[in-house]
Structure 1
Amino acid sequence: MGSITPTTLEPTTDSLDALTYELDRAHVFHSWSAQAALHPLTVAGASGCEVWDHSGKRYLDFSSQLINTNIGHTHPKVTAAIQKQAAVLPTIAPAHANLARGTAAKLILQAANRLHASENEQRGSDGVLPLVFFTNGGADANENAIRMARLTTGSDTILSAYRSYHGATGSAIVATGDFRRVENQYARGHVHFFGPYPYRSEFWSTSPEEETTRALHHLRRVIECEGGAGAIAAVLLETIPGTAGVIVPPAGWLAGVRELCDEFDILLICDEVMAGFGRTGDWFAWQNPTINPQAVRPDLICFAKGVNGGYVPAGGVILSRRVSKTFDERFYPGGLTYSGHPLAMAAIVATLEAYKEESILEHAAEIGKDILGPGLQKLGEKHALIGEVRGMGVFWALDLVVNQSTKTPVAPAVVVRLKNECLKRGLLVFVVENRLHVTPPCIVTRDEVERALAIYDEALSVVGADL
């Protein structure tokens, strides 16, 4: 077939799909991919929890794309806010004040400080969260949090977990623990440790409590061996490691890390890029009582993705007073041309308002507790391919194994086949290594969950029968 250009085909539905595909394969370089093997799905439009191609074939989106369309596709309140802002002030330099950015920051801080009753406390007390620095996404949020931590403490080393993903930019990818950092080791001062993972324990633990105790002892020893107080700037954690497998930490983990950070005068950075804004049924995972019953506070919080559903690129860092006061009189050596971009800010404001007006966080918590979680657990009981089901809210993963006793992960080809079987049945899924991540938008309906569970069941049966 010859090359297709916009002038060689009439705009029929089939030709538009072909044109979209051909243009992509001819001109687009994709991330995290070997280019020659790619066969991208063409997407013409989307609404709610569905996307479709130019021919009208619809797919239920249980990937939330890159786990960011928390509010669903083309939410009318958010798209209208972007259009309205574009007609008034489509862009402005970050040095200027604009209403959309100030309002977005206020709403984000209200969510971050929801456990603090007093507005005066929010504004003035050390330990609470008074300011937001806006970025273009999660990776540069983590980059700036690392920079802020180093400048605040005067120390250099950043500790992060092996089972983590923090972004693809210079320091963020080296802070990342998975294999992708290996070919990107250009940043200095990064050390990794093992966090708690009861299903695949590095510590021979037999209970979540034992896993927490041993993981905290391991972290203490890493801190001590890396120089302790005066040498380490921050511990950087995904509150719930997402890409690494939706590893919900045992209840005592975050409080234990906070205690270690306080003991050694180390800052605690919580990466909430994936777990924040509805995924767990709360504004932030660190606020969820299942994860953090003591409600201990981070010093810095990184966010992106669900803050505006990914409609316009946006992220940011929430600063505690301890960090922000460092720069009251001191120059902050960091910035971005599109920091606080008005279109992104308008999308944030509309998204956060919609979360409240439509009780979306409560809905995500309820759907996970009543329908999605129990449905996935039933699949785990039925299919030997599933070693563990874990998650909360609309943030779940199935750990796929060859044998439930040995917990040997399935080969990547098995996961690819499972993904394709789901796609054939009209379901978009998110897969990583041996895991199937179940991450629909926070607005997903009960009927849509039931449809997806039926497709998972069929696909697992087909793939499992050949193993």
Structure 2
Amino acid sequence: MTYVNLAGEATPLPDPDAEAVVRANDRAHVFHSWSAQGALAPLPVAGGLGASFWDYSGKSYLDFGSQLVNLNLGHQHPDLIASLHRQADRLATIQPAMANDVRSELARLLVEVVGEPFAKVFFTNAGADANEYAVRMARHSTGRNKVLSTYRSYHGGMGTPIGLTGDPRRWANEAAANGVVHFFGPYPYRSPFHSDSPEQETARALEHLESVIVLEGANTIAAIILETIVGTNGILVPPPGYLAGVRELCDKYGIVYIADEVMAGFGRTGEWFAFQGFDVQPDLVTFAKGVNSGYVPLGGVIISAKIAEFFNDKVFYGGLTYSGHPLACALGVTTFEVFRRDHILEHVRDLSERVIAPRLDGWLETHPSIGEVRGRGLFWAIELVKDRDTREPLVPFNPTAAQNAPMAAFAAACKADGVWPFTHYNRTHIAPPLVIAEDELNRGLDVIDEALTITDQAIGA
């Protein structure tokens, strides 16, 4: 399907016969997530390199969603591929009850970058089970059951995490929501507290949260779990002082603070972990996705010394056959090496401040369908509206296919011009691989800029 030229660039070649086989087998035998199966027409993907992937017709797409915001080091990163080969040649797998060099080294690196008061790491297979086990640790160590999470959140598609989730994916799975209580997090652009400034939003959001804690019974609440920056549900950056205020409430009432860093971690915001940009310290930090760019499934919980010590003489009732899988952990160790050697965090901050922020701010002047832009690092949202004065969303919350037509047309235009966008309801997100080059980033932004004329036309502008 591809060849690599002398410059080291992968060039896609059409292969319609292979495409036909992939399409047929997929439709006949693959059951896809979050979908009515009969209406699906998945794109058959033949390959990828860096910030791009391509289909079997040879059409290439800039990956502006990093797949599911996990491909932080891009497609087919040579260091990750080499690391996978080395580890497979040496030791492909070993059970979690045994000690393993790459597993323990990755744990050491994780504790090192988050610093005190963290001490240990429990490895999982993904972000959902990382959140599952973080909640379990909080419940065991506090002797309490309830967990508070926000509306407009996503914490995973199984068990407790789907119950914690605050979007429509939870609705068909309510039985999983044992002990979960939802509250409103801050969202200055659409303030549920009728605030007129970020500072007021922080104060009112914290007042609301404390009211929920008191009314639910503080001595029944094990944990509060928050996406440090809400991901799929809006790239909602907490206003100044909010996370510090949550920390204070947790300390006041003896509640464990869990930072869900599954999407926002590993450089996505220009920090190792997003919470490090807000001068706050959680008790448990969950991670996955960018820890090894999803090349082999991996997640985990970084545990504070206090909670880790609780289990020194008490059994932790939890475990996974593939916890700390050597292939996955080897790639995690290599990810740290690549980040440091190639100055990935600095690259992300530079592109964010010098390229993305000014371009998106400029679009507020040229695209009347844009209500707000917000974000950090390579993690941005463009919120689209019918009317800037009323802030009515371009498409409603949880839209039908017919209601979603303007966003579907926008996405189709992006794809036609070689950019695969990440859209959700009335937003498009900017979340390309962290290794994206400046010219690639600008080319993708050019395509989105042009496609936004469709959303402008949809509101009659």
Counterpart secondary structure, 2:257: strand
> Paired residue for 1:88, among 87, 90, 104?
90
Aligned to 1:55: 57
Distance 2:14 2:426 in 1: 39
Q: How far 1:391 sits from its partner (Å)?
A: 0.3
Of residues 289, 294, 299, the one that matches 1:310 is: 294
Alignment partner, residue 8 of structure 2: none
Aligned residue in 1 for 2:409: 417
Contact 2:409/2:454, CA 8 A, preserved across alignment: no
| Equivalence for 2:163 | 174
Q: How does 1:148-297 map to 2 (within 5 A)?
A: 148-187=137-176, 188-228=178-218, 230-288=219-277, 292=278, 295-297=279-281
Q: Structure 1 residue 375 and structure 2 residue 364: aligned?
A: no
Choose 407-416 or 84-93, whichever is displaced more.
Answer: 407-416
Give the superposition deviation at 1:58. 0.8
Larger deviation: 379-388 or 129-138? 379-388
Question: Which stretch of structure 1 is more off in the superposition, 371-380 or 392-401?
Answer: 371-380
Aligned equivalents of 1:140, 1:278: Cα separation in 2: 21
User: How many Å separate the matches in 1 of 2:215 and 2:455?
Assistant: 46
Residue correspondence of structure 1 range 134-145 to structure 2 within 5 A: 134-145=123-134
- In the TM superposition, residue 12 of structure 1 has moved relative to its aligned partner by 6.9
Which residue pairs with 2:384 in the alignment?
Answer: 400
Equivalent-residue separation in structure 2 for 1:394 and 1:296 (angstroms)? 21
The answer (yes or no) to whether the contact 2:45–2:56 under 8 Å persists in 1 is: yes
How far apart are the structure 2 equivalents of 1:139 and 1:184? Answer: 15
Kept after mapping to 1: 8 A contact 2:146/2:179: yes
**Alignment partner, residue 8 of structure 1:** none
TM-fit CA distance, 1:59: 0.6
- SS of the aligned residue for 1:44 comes to strand
Q: Give the residue type in structure 2 aligned to 1:253.
A: Y
Q: SS at the partner of 2:107?
A: helix
CA distance in 2, matches of 1:414, 1:379: 18
What RMSD in Å do the two structures reach over aligned CA positions?
1.1
Q: Identity percentage over the alignment?
A: 52
Q: What is the rounded CA distance, in whole Å, between the counterparts of 1:54 and 1:81 in structure 2?
A: 28
Q: 1:88 deviation in Å?
A: 1.0
1:320 matches 2:304 = yes
Q: Distance in 1 between matches of 2:295 and 2:208?
A: 40
CA distance in 2, matches of 1:21, 1:450: 32
| Partner Cα separation in structure 2 for residue 258 and residue 27 of structure 1 | 47
SS at structure 1 position matched to 2:45? coil
The TM-score normalised by the length of structure 2 is: 0.93
- Matches of residues 420-459 of structure 1 in structure 2 within 5 Å? 420-459=412-451
What is the alpha-carbon distance in structure 1 between the residues aligned to residue 455 and residue 223 of structure 2? 44
Out of 15, 24, 27, which is 1:25 matched to? 27
Question: Number of matched residues?
Answer: 438
Distance 1:258 1:466 in 2: 43
Runs of 4+ in 1 over 3 A off after TM superposition: none
Paired amino acid for 2:148: L
1:346, distance to aligned residue in structure 2 (A):
0.7
Displacement, 1:380?
A: 2.5
Could you tell me whether the CA contact under 8 Å between 2:146 and 2:181 is conserved in 1? yes
Q: Distance in 2 between matches of 1:144 and 1:413?
A: 39
Residue 399 of structure 2 corresponds to none
Greater Cα offset, 132-141 or 31-40: 31-40
Secondary structure at the residue paired with 1:150?
Answer: helix
Deviation at 1:54, TM superposition (A): 2.4
* Equivalent AA in structure 1 for residue 374 of structure 2: R
State the partner residue of 1:44.
46
The answer on whether the counterparts of 2:127 and 2:300 sit within 8 Å (CA) in structure 1 is yes
Cα shift readout 1:276-302 (whole Å, capped 9, x = no counterpart): 0011100000001xxx1xx22100000
Q: Which amino acid aligns with 1:376?
A: L
Q: Deviations over 1:294-353 (max 9, x none)?
A: x22100000000111111100000000111111101111000111000110011011111
1:240 aligned counterpart, secondary structure: coil
Aligned to 1:464: 456
Residue identity opposite 2:358 in structure 1? P
Distance 1:190 1:350 in 2: 37
SS at match of 1:186: helix
Q: Distance in 1 between matches of 2:145 and 2:259?
A: 18
Secondary structure at the counterpart of residue 245 of structure 2 = helix
Letter in 1 for 2:442: E
Return 52-61 or 160-169, whichever deviates more: 52-61
Alpha-carbon displacement from aligned partner over 1:400-440 (angstroms, at most 9, x marks no partner) = 11111111111222111111110111101111111101101
1:15 alignment partner in structure 2: 17
Runs of 5+ consecutive residues of structure 1 not aligned to the other structure: 1-10, 114-121, 123-127
CA distance in 1, matches of 2:280, 2:429: 28
Give the CA deviation at 1:463: 3.8
State the alpha-carbon separation in 1 of the partners of residues 14 and 107 from structure 2.
45
Alignment-mate amino acid for residue 193 of structure 1? F
Is the 2:45–2:54 Cα contact (8 Å) retained in structure 1? yes
Offset of 1:462 from its aligned partner?
3.0
Report the 3-state secondary structure (helix = DSSP H, G, I; strand = E; otherwise coil) of the residue aligned with 1:130.
strand
